[in-house]
Amino acid sequence: MSDIITIMKKELKRFFSDKRILLSLILPGVLIYVMYSFMGSIFENVFSGNKDYTYIIAEENKPDSFDDVLKRTGIKYEIKKAENEEKAKADIKDGNVDIYIKFDENFDEKTSENAVPSVEVYYDSANVNSQTAYTLIYSALLERSVKVTPVYLVNAGEESYDLATKQELSAMMITMMLPFILMIFLFTGCMAVSTESIAGEKERGTIATLLVTPVKRSHIAIGKILALSITSLVSAVISFIGLIFSLPKLMGGEATGISLSAYGFSTYIGTLGVIIVTVLLFTVILSIVSALSKSIKEASQFAMPVMIVVMAVSVLSMVNQGAANTNWWAYLIPVYNSAQCISGLFSLSFNSLFFVITVISNIVFVGLGVFALAKIFNSEKIMFNK
Protein backbone atom coordinates (compact mmCIF):
# COMPACT_ATOMS: atom_id res chain seq x y z
CA MET A 1 0.00 0.00 0.00
CA SER A 2 2.81 2.43 0.86
CA ASP A 3 4.29 1.73 -2.60
CA ILE A 4 1.06 2.85 -4.24
CA ILE A 5 1.01 6.05 -2.17
CA THR A 6 4.68 6.77 -2.99
CA ILE A 7 4.04 6.39 -6.73
CA MET A 8 0.85 8.45 -6.48
CA LYS A 9 2.55 11.25 -4.55
CA LYS A 10 5.35 11.49 -7.10
CA GLU A 11 2.95 11.67 -10.05
CA LEU A 12 0.72 14.20 -8.27
CA LYS A 13 3.73 16.34 -7.37
CA ARG A 14 4.70 16.45 -11.02
CA PHE A 15 1.21 17.42 -12.19
CA PHE A 16 0.36 19.93 -9.48
CA SER A 17 3.77 21.60 -9.09
CA ASP A 18 4.38 22.15 -12.77
CA LYS A 19 2.74 25.45 -13.68
CA ARG A 20 2.36 24.49 -17.32
CA ILE A 21 0.54 21.25 -16.53
CA LEU A 22 -1.56 22.98 -13.89
CA LEU A 23 -2.55 25.65 -16.38
CA SER A 24 -3.49 22.99 -18.93
CA LEU A 25 -5.80 21.43 -16.33
CA ILE A 26 -7.56 24.64 -15.31
CA LEU A 27 -7.58 26.52 -18.60
CA PRO A 28 -10.06 24.32 -20.54
CA GLY A 29 -12.81 24.88 -17.95
CA VAL A 30 -12.22 28.63 -17.89
CA LEU A 31 -12.01 28.78 -21.67
CA ILE A 32 -15.21 26.76 -22.07
CA TYR A 33 -17.05 29.28 -19.91
CA VAL A 34 -15.61 32.32 -21.67
CA MET A 35 -15.98 30.85 -25.16
CA TYR A 36 -19.50 29.48 -24.77
CA SER A 37 -20.71 32.64 -23.02
CA PHE A 38 -19.27 34.70 -25.84
CA MET A 39 -20.76 32.43 -28.51
CA GLY A 40 -24.10 32.50 -26.67
CA SER A 41 -24.19 36.28 -26.66
CA ILE A 42 -23.42 36.32 -30.40
CA PHE A 43 -26.23 33.80 -31.10
CA GLU A 44 -28.59 35.78 -28.89
CA ASN A 45 -27.77 38.96 -30.77
CA VAL A 46 -28.46 37.22 -34.06
CA PHE A 47 -31.75 35.64 -33.02
CA SER A 48 -33.15 38.17 -30.53
CA GLY A 49 -31.37 41.34 -31.55
CA ASN A 50 -28.58 43.19 -29.83
CA LYS A 51 -30.16 44.88 -26.80
CA ASP A 52 -27.46 47.55 -26.69
CA TYR A 53 -27.79 48.47 -30.32
CA THR A 54 -30.18 50.91 -31.96
CA TYR A 55 -31.23 49.64 -35.36
CA ILE A 56 -31.63 52.32 -38.02
CA ILE A 57 -34.69 51.74 -40.18
CA ALA A 58 -35.30 53.72 -43.34
CA GLU A 59 -38.91 53.67 -44.48
CA GLU A 60 -41.06 54.85 -47.30
CA ASN A 61 -44.86 55.27 -47.05
CA LYS A 62 -45.03 53.57 -43.64
CA PRO A 63 -48.62 53.60 -42.35
CA ASP A 64 -48.96 54.58 -38.65
CA SER A 65 -50.62 51.23 -37.98
CA PHE A 66 -47.26 49.54 -38.47
CA ASP A 67 -45.58 51.26 -35.50
CA ASP A 68 -47.05 48.52 -33.35
CA VAL A 69 -45.58 45.81 -35.60
CA LEU A 70 -42.08 47.22 -35.18
CA LYS A 71 -42.50 47.50 -31.40
CA ARG A 72 -43.31 43.79 -31.21
CA THR A 73 -39.83 42.91 -32.49
CA GLY A 74 -38.45 43.97 -29.07
CA ILE A 75 -35.45 45.77 -30.54
CA LYS A 76 -34.39 49.40 -30.04
CA TYR A 77 -34.79 51.26 -33.30
CA GLU A 78 -34.79 54.66 -34.90
CA ILE A 79 -36.90 55.36 -37.95
CA LYS A 80 -36.05 57.84 -40.61
CA LYS A 81 -37.69 58.68 -43.87
CA ALA A 82 -35.85 57.40 -46.92
CA GLU A 83 -35.04 60.09 -49.48
CA ASN A 84 -35.43 57.57 -52.29
CA GLU A 85 -34.87 53.87 -52.95
CA GLU A 86 -31.40 54.20 -54.41
CA LYS A 87 -30.14 56.35 -51.52
CA ALA A 88 -31.62 53.93 -48.95
CA LYS A 89 -29.96 50.92 -50.60
CA ALA A 90 -26.63 52.79 -50.71
CA ASP A 91 -27.02 53.66 -47.01
CA ILE A 92 -27.50 49.95 -46.22
CA LYS A 93 -24.36 49.01 -48.12
CA ASP A 94 -22.45 51.80 -46.33
CA GLY A 95 -23.74 50.63 -42.95
CA ASN A 96 -25.57 53.92 -42.21
CA VAL A 97 -28.92 52.16 -42.29
CA ASP A 98 -29.67 48.58 -41.22
CA ILE A 99 -32.89 47.98 -43.12
CA TYR A 100 -35.08 49.73 -45.66
CA ILE A 101 -38.84 49.07 -45.70
CA LYS A 102 -40.80 50.26 -48.67
CA PHE A 103 -44.58 50.16 -48.37
CA ASP A 104 -46.98 50.62 -51.28
CA GLU A 105 -48.56 54.03 -51.35
CA ASN A 106 -51.91 54.20 -49.49
CA PHE A 107 -51.13 50.84 -47.91
CA ASP A 108 -53.97 50.83 -45.32
CA GLU A 109 -56.59 51.95 -47.85
CA LYS A 110 -55.60 49.17 -50.22
CA THR A 111 -55.83 46.67 -47.42
CA SER A 112 -59.34 47.76 -46.46
CA GLU A 113 -60.40 47.54 -50.11
CA ASN A 114 -59.25 43.89 -50.14
CA ALA A 115 -56.49 44.71 -52.58
CA VAL A 116 -53.08 43.09 -51.94
CA PRO A 117 -50.52 45.81 -51.24
CA SER A 118 -46.88 44.90 -50.99
CA VAL A 119 -44.01 45.62 -48.62
CA GLU A 120 -40.44 45.33 -49.80
CA VAL A 121 -37.70 44.89 -47.22
CA TYR A 122 -34.10 45.48 -48.25
CA TYR A 123 -31.18 44.37 -46.10
CA ASP A 124 -27.55 43.26 -46.23
CA SER A 125 -27.13 39.63 -45.11
CA ALA A 126 -23.37 40.13 -44.87
CA ASN A 127 -23.97 42.60 -42.04
CA VAL A 128 -24.99 40.93 -38.74
CA ASN A 129 -27.13 43.86 -37.55
CA SER A 130 -28.87 44.19 -40.89
CA GLN A 131 -29.51 40.43 -41.06
CA THR A 132 -30.88 40.41 -37.48
CA ALA A 133 -33.17 43.37 -38.17
CA TYR A 134 -34.45 41.63 -41.31
CA THR A 135 -35.13 38.33 -39.50
CA LEU A 136 -37.12 40.02 -36.74
CA ILE A 137 -38.99 42.56 -38.85
CA TYR A 138 -39.79 40.08 -41.63
CA SER A 139 -41.42 37.65 -39.20
CA ALA A 140 -43.34 40.48 -37.51
CA LEU A 141 -44.61 41.68 -40.91
CA LEU A 142 -45.54 38.12 -41.89
CA GLU A 143 -47.46 37.62 -38.67
CA ARG A 144 -49.34 40.88 -39.20
CA SER A 145 -50.06 39.97 -42.82
CA VAL A 146 -51.66 36.66 -41.85
CA LYS A 147 -53.83 38.34 -39.25
CA VAL A 148 -55.03 41.11 -41.55
CA THR A 149 -55.92 38.97 -44.56
CA PRO A 150 -56.10 35.41 -43.28
CA VAL A 151 -56.77 32.35 -45.39
CA TYR A 152 -57.01 30.45 -42.12
CA LEU A 153 -55.61 31.03 -38.65
CA VAL A 154 -53.13 28.81 -36.86
CA ASN A 155 -52.20 29.52 -33.23
CA ALA A 156 -53.28 33.11 -33.67
CA GLY A 157 -54.37 33.66 -30.07
CA GLU A 158 -52.33 35.42 -27.41
CA GLU A 159 -51.84 32.40 -25.15
CA SER A 160 -48.85 30.02 -25.27
CA TYR A 161 -49.50 26.91 -27.35
CA ASP A 162 -46.25 25.17 -26.29
CA LEU A 163 -47.21 23.09 -23.26
CA ALA A 164 -43.59 22.39 -22.24
CA THR A 165 -42.63 23.90 -18.91
CA LYS A 166 -39.51 25.98 -18.57
CA GLN A 167 -37.93 23.05 -16.69
CA GLU A 168 -38.77 20.57 -19.43
CA LEU A 169 -37.45 22.87 -22.13
CA SER A 170 -34.20 23.32 -20.16
CA ALA A 171 -33.93 19.56 -19.66
CA MET A 172 -34.42 18.73 -23.32
CA MET A 173 -31.97 21.29 -24.64
CA ILE A 174 -29.29 20.53 -22.04
CA THR A 175 -29.57 16.74 -22.29
CA MET A 176 -29.17 16.89 -26.04
CA MET A 177 -25.86 18.69 -25.76
CA LEU A 178 -24.35 18.05 -22.33
CA PRO A 179 -23.44 14.31 -22.43
CA PHE A 180 -21.65 14.61 -25.76
CA ILE A 181 -19.72 17.76 -24.87
CA LEU A 182 -18.93 16.50 -21.36
CA MET A 183 -17.58 13.15 -22.60
CA ILE A 184 -15.28 14.96 -25.02
CA PHE A 185 -13.97 17.27 -22.30
CA LEU A 186 -13.46 14.38 -19.87
CA PHE A 187 -11.55 12.42 -22.49
CA THR A 188 -9.35 15.32 -23.58
CA GLY A 189 -8.65 16.16 -19.92
CA CYS A 190 -7.45 12.59 -19.33
CA MET A 191 -5.54 12.59 -22.60
CA ALA A 192 -3.54 15.65 -21.55
CA VAL A 193 -1.90 13.76 -18.67
CA SER A 194 -2.37 10.03 -19.31
CA THR A 195 -0.80 9.58 -22.75
CA GLU A 196 2.50 10.99 -21.52
CA SER A 197 2.69 9.05 -18.27
CA ILE A 198 3.91 5.57 -19.18
CA ALA A 199 5.12 6.23 -22.75
CA GLY A 200 7.21 9.05 -21.27
CA GLU A 201 8.80 6.64 -18.77
CA LYS A 202 9.58 4.25 -21.63
CA GLU A 203 11.03 7.04 -23.75
CA ARG A 204 13.26 8.26 -20.91
CA GLY A 205 14.25 4.75 -19.83
CA THR A 206 13.02 5.39 -16.28
CA ILE A 207 10.54 2.52 -16.63
CA ALA A 208 13.44 0.03 -16.27
CA THR A 209 14.59 1.74 -13.05
CA LEU A 210 11.02 1.58 -11.75
CA LEU A 211 10.51 -2.05 -12.77
CA VAL A 212 13.70 -3.28 -11.05
CA THR A 213 12.43 -2.00 -7.71
CA PRO A 214 10.71 -4.68 -5.59
CA VAL A 215 7.35 -2.93 -6.07
CA LYS A 216 4.63 -5.17 -7.52
CA ARG A 217 3.60 -4.37 -11.11
CA SER A 218 -0.03 -4.11 -10.03
CA HIS A 219 0.93 -1.52 -7.38
CA ILE A 220 2.76 0.54 -10.00
CA ALA A 221 -0.34 0.37 -12.24
CA ILE A 222 -2.72 1.32 -9.40
CA GLY A 223 -0.48 4.15 -8.16
CA LYS A 224 -0.18 5.65 -11.60
CA ILE A 225 -3.87 5.29 -12.46
CA LEU A 226 -5.02 6.84 -9.16
CA ALA A 227 -2.68 9.82 -9.55
CA LEU A 228 -3.67 10.32 -13.17
CA SER A 229 -7.36 9.99 -12.26
CA ILE A 230 -7.13 12.57 -9.47
CA THR A 231 -5.37 14.97 -11.83
CA SER A 232 -7.84 14.35 -14.64
CA LEU A 233 -10.71 14.68 -12.20
CA VAL A 234 -9.61 18.18 -11.22
CA SER A 235 -9.58 19.11 -14.89
CA ALA A 236 -12.94 17.35 -15.42
CA VAL A 237 -14.68 19.12 -12.53
CA ILE A 238 -13.41 22.53 -13.65
CA SER A 239 -14.54 21.78 -17.21
CA PHE A 240 -17.92 20.57 -15.94
CA ILE A 241 -18.48 23.72 -13.88
CA GLY A 242 -17.46 25.88 -16.85
CA LEU A 243 -19.72 23.88 -19.14
CA ILE A 244 -22.78 23.81 -16.90
CA PHE A 245 -22.68 27.55 -16.31
CA SER A 246 -22.05 28.44 -19.94
CA LEU A 247 -24.38 25.96 -21.66
CA PRO A 248 -27.60 27.90 -20.96
CA LYS A 249 -25.88 31.03 -22.28
CA LEU A 250 -24.75 29.17 -25.39
CA MET A 251 -28.31 28.03 -26.04
CA GLY A 252 -29.81 31.46 -25.77
CA GLY A 253 -30.26 31.79 -21.99
CA GLU A 254 -33.37 33.65 -20.83
CA ALA A 255 -34.61 34.15 -24.37
CA THR A 256 -35.10 30.38 -24.81
CA GLY A 257 -36.06 29.72 -21.22
CA ILE A 258 -33.09 27.44 -20.56
CA SER A 259 -32.01 27.63 -16.95
CA LEU A 260 -29.98 25.68 -14.40
CA SER A 261 -32.64 26.26 -11.77
CA ALA A 262 -34.40 23.17 -13.16
CA TYR A 263 -31.84 20.96 -11.38
CA GLY A 264 -31.35 20.17 -7.75
CA PHE A 265 -28.27 19.34 -5.71
CA SER A 266 -28.80 15.58 -6.24
CA THR A 267 -28.45 16.02 -10.03
CA TYR A 268 -25.00 17.52 -9.58
CA ILE A 269 -23.91 14.92 -7.01
CA GLY A 270 -25.08 12.14 -9.35
CA THR A 271 -23.23 13.76 -12.23
CA LEU A 272 -20.08 13.99 -10.13
CA GLY A 273 -20.37 10.24 -9.45
CA VAL A 274 -20.65 9.50 -13.17
CA ILE A 275 -17.74 11.86 -13.91
CA ILE A 276 -15.52 10.08 -11.36
CA VAL A 277 -16.07 6.57 -12.78
CA THR A 278 -15.83 7.85 -16.35
CA VAL A 279 -12.54 9.63 -15.64
CA LEU A 280 -11.21 6.44 -14.03
CA LEU A 281 -12.24 4.46 -17.12
CA PHE A 282 -10.71 6.96 -19.57
CA THR A 283 -7.50 7.09 -17.49
CA VAL A 284 -7.19 3.30 -17.57
CA ILE A 285 -7.86 3.15 -21.32
CA LEU A 286 -5.35 5.92 -22.06
CA SER A 287 -2.77 4.45 -19.68
CA ILE A 288 -2.99 1.16 -21.59
CA VAL A 289 -2.63 3.08 -24.87
CA SER A 290 0.37 4.88 -23.37
CA ALA A 291 1.93 1.61 -22.15
CA LEU A 292 1.48 0.02 -25.57
CA SER A 293 3.19 2.95 -27.31
CA LYS A 294 6.92 3.33 -27.81
CA SER A 295 6.93 7.11 -27.41
CA ILE A 296 4.75 10.02 -26.27
CA LYS A 297 4.20 10.96 -29.90
CA GLU A 298 3.00 7.46 -30.75
CA ALA A 299 0.72 7.44 -27.67
CA SER A 300 -0.91 10.70 -28.80
CA GLN A 301 -1.42 9.25 -32.28
CA PHE A 302 -2.98 6.05 -30.89
CA ALA A 303 -5.25 8.08 -28.57
CA MET A 304 -6.92 9.87 -31.49
CA PRO A 305 -8.87 6.84 -32.85
CA VAL A 306 -9.95 6.08 -29.27
CA MET A 307 -11.24 9.65 -29.00
CA ILE A 308 -13.21 9.22 -32.24
CA VAL A 309 -14.84 6.08 -30.80
CA VAL A 310 -15.70 7.98 -27.58
CA MET A 311 -17.19 10.80 -29.68
CA ALA A 312 -19.20 8.35 -31.79
CA VAL A 313 -20.60 6.56 -28.73
CA SER A 314 -21.35 9.85 -26.95
CA VAL A 315 -23.13 11.34 -29.94
CA LEU A 316 -25.75 8.59 -29.57
CA SER A 317 -26.95 10.51 -26.51
CA MET A 318 -28.22 13.21 -28.87
CA VAL A 319 -30.47 10.68 -30.59
CA ASN A 320 -34.08 10.60 -29.36
CA GLN A 321 -33.81 14.26 -28.32
CA GLY A 322 -31.65 13.46 -25.33
CA ALA A 323 -34.06 11.01 -23.70
CA ALA A 324 -32.14 8.36 -21.77
CA ASN A 325 -32.16 4.71 -22.83
CA THR A 326 -34.56 2.61 -20.77
CA ASN A 327 -32.91 -0.82 -21.31
CA TRP A 328 -30.86 -1.80 -18.27
CA TRP A 329 -28.30 -3.72 -20.35
CA ALA A 330 -27.42 -0.55 -22.24
CA TYR A 331 -25.87 0.68 -19.00
CA LEU A 332 -23.29 -2.10 -19.16
CA ILE A 333 -21.70 -0.54 -22.24
CA PRO A 334 -18.76 1.66 -21.23
CA VAL A 335 -18.84 5.33 -22.25
CA TYR A 336 -22.39 4.93 -23.62
CA ASN A 337 -23.62 4.18 -20.10
CA SER A 338 -22.01 7.35 -18.72
CA ALA A 339 -23.51 9.51 -21.48
CA GLN A 340 -26.92 7.91 -20.94
CA CYS A 341 -26.70 8.33 -17.19
CA ILE A 342 -25.99 12.04 -17.58
CA SER A 343 -28.89 12.26 -20.04
CA GLY A 344 -31.10 10.64 -17.43
CA LEU A 345 -29.92 12.99 -14.68
CA PHE A 346 -30.42 16.15 -16.74
CA SER A 347 -33.66 15.07 -18.41
CA LEU A 348 -35.13 14.83 -14.89
CA SER A 349 -35.83 11.11 -15.44
CA PHE A 350 -33.11 9.79 -13.12
CA ASN A 351 -33.17 6.03 -12.58
CA SER A 352 -31.15 4.87 -9.58
CA LEU A 353 -30.85 1.29 -10.92
CA PHE A 354 -29.26 2.54 -14.16
CA PHE A 355 -26.95 4.78 -12.15
CA VAL A 356 -25.81 1.86 -9.97
CA ILE A 357 -25.30 -0.39 -13.03
CA THR A 358 -23.23 2.36 -14.67
CA VAL A 359 -21.03 2.91 -11.62
CA ILE A 360 -20.49 -0.79 -10.93
CA SER A 361 -19.85 -1.77 -14.55
CA ASN A 362 -17.35 1.07 -14.98
CA ILE A 363 -15.54 0.03 -11.78
CA VAL A 364 -15.38 -3.54 -13.11
CA PHE A 365 -13.92 -2.26 -16.41
CA VAL A 366 -11.39 -0.18 -14.47
CA GLY A 367 -10.40 -3.27 -12.45
CA LEU A 368 -9.92 -5.27 -15.66
CA GLY A 369 -7.91 -2.38 -17.08
CA VAL A 370 -5.60 -2.27 -14.04
CA PHE A 371 -5.11 -6.04 -14.36
CA ALA A 372 -4.30 -5.63 -18.08
CA LEU A 373 -1.88 -2.78 -17.33
CA ALA A 374 -0.05 -4.88 -14.73
CA LYS A 375 0.22 -7.65 -17.36
CA ILE A 376 1.59 -5.12 -19.86
CA PHE A 377 4.23 -4.05 -17.33
CA ASN A 378 5.29 -7.71 -17.27
CA SER A 379 5.44 -7.95 -21.05
CA GLU A 380 9.04 -7.45 -22.09
CA LYS A 381 8.00 -7.25 -25.75
CA ILE A 382 5.84 -4.22 -25.07
CA MET A 383 7.96 -2.54 -22.41
CA PHE A 384 11.40 -2.91 -23.99
CA ASN A 385 10.85 -3.44 -27.71
CA LYS A 386 12.09 -0.41 -29.63
Partner 1 sequence: MEEILKVEGLKKTFKLSRKQQKTEKLADRTKVAVNGISFSAYKGEIFGLLGPNGAGKTTTLRIISTLIKPDDGDAFIDGVSVVKNPDKARAKLGFLTSELKLEDFFTPDYLYDYFSSLHGVEKSVAAERKAKLFDRFGITEFAHVKIGDLSTGMKQKISLVISIVHDPDFIIFDEPTNGLDVITAKTVTDFLIELKNLGKTIIISTHIFSLVEKICDRVGVIINGKMVLIGKLKELTELKPLEDVFFDLYLKESGENV
CA distances to 105, 107, 187, 382 from 117, rounded to whole Å, are 8, 6, 59, 80
Q: Does 19 bind partner 1 (CB under 8 A)?
A: no
What are the backbone dihedrals phi and psi of residue 243, each rounded to the nearest 5 degrees, phi first? -70, -45
| Buried-state track 344-365, b at ≥16 Cβ within 10 A, e below 16 | bbbbbeebeebbebbbebbeeb
Q: Give the integer Cα–Cα distance in Å for 386 and 376.
A: 15
Q: Does 380 bind partner 1 (CB under 8 A)?
A: yes
Q: Does 42 bind partner 1 (CB under 8 A)?
A: no
With contact defined as beta carbons under 8 Å apart, do 258 and 248 qualify?
yes
Q: Give the integer Cα–Cα distance in Å for 272 and 254.
A: 26
* Residues 377, 382, 383, 384, Cα dihedral to 10°: 150
Q: Does 96 bind partner 1 (CB under 8 A)?
A: no
Q: Indicate the residue among 59 and 203 with the shorter CB distance to partner 1.
A: 203
Q: Does 22 bind partner 1 (CB under 8 A)?
A: no
Q: Choose which of 51, 71, 216, 294 interacts with partner 1 (CB under 8 A).
A: 216
Q: Does 23 bind partner 1 (CB under 8 A)?
A: no
Q: Choose which of 1, 17, 84, 159 interacts with partner 1 (CB under 8 A).
A: 17
User: How many residues line the site for partner 1 (CB under 8 A)?
Assistant: 27
Which residues on adjacent β-strands are paired with residue 59?
Answer: 81, 101
Q: Choose which of 12, 184, 215, 333 interacts with partner 1 (CB under 8 A).
A: 215
Q: Which of 64-72, 128-136, 182-190, 375-383 is the region at the interface with partner 1 (rule: CB under 8 A)?
A: 375-383
Q: Does 326 bind partner 1 (CB under 8 A)?
A: no
Q: Does 383 bind partner 1 (CB under 8 A)?
A: yes
Q: Does 298 bind partner 1 (CB under 8 A)?
A: no
Q: Does 93 bind partner 1 (CB under 8 A)?
A: no
Q: DSSP letters of 194-225? A: HHHHHHHHHHHTHHHHHHTSS--HHHHHHHHH
Q: Indicate the residue among 125 and 381 with the shorter CB distance to partner 1.
A: 381
Q: How many CB atoms lie within 10 A of CB 253?
A: 18
Q: Which residues contact 305 (CB under 8 A, 6 or more apart)?
A: none
Q: Does 7 bind partner 1 (CB under 8 A)?
A: yes
Q: Does 2 bind partner 1 (CB under 8 A)?
A: yes
Q: DSSP letters of 285-341? A: HHHHHHHH-SSHHHHHHHHHHHHHHHHHHHHGGGGGGGPPP--GGGGGSTTHHHHHH
Name which of residues 168 to 207 contact partner 1 (CB under 8 A).
200, 204-206
Q: Indicate the residue among 9 and 147 with the shorter CB distance to partner 1.
A: 9
Q: Does 145 bind partner 1 (CB under 8 A)?
A: no
Q: Choose which of 146, 210, 230, 237 interacts with partner 1 (CB under 8 A).
A: 210
Q: Does 211 bind partner 1 (CB under 8 A)?
A: yes
Q: Indicate the residue among 65 and 213 with the shorter CB distance to partner 1.
A: 213
Q: Which of 30-38, 46-54, 258-266, 378-386 is the region at the interface with partner 1 (rule: CB under 8 A)?
A: 378-386
Q: How far is the CB of 227 from partner 1 (least distance, A)?
A: 13
Q: Is 380 exposed, middle or buried (0-12, 13-18, 19+ CB in 10 A)?
A: exposed
Q: Give the integer Cα–Cα distance in Å for 207 and 197.
A: 10
- Binding positions for partner 1, rule: CB under 8 A: 2-3, 6-7, 10, 13-14, 17-18, 200, 204-206, 208-216, 380-381, 383-385
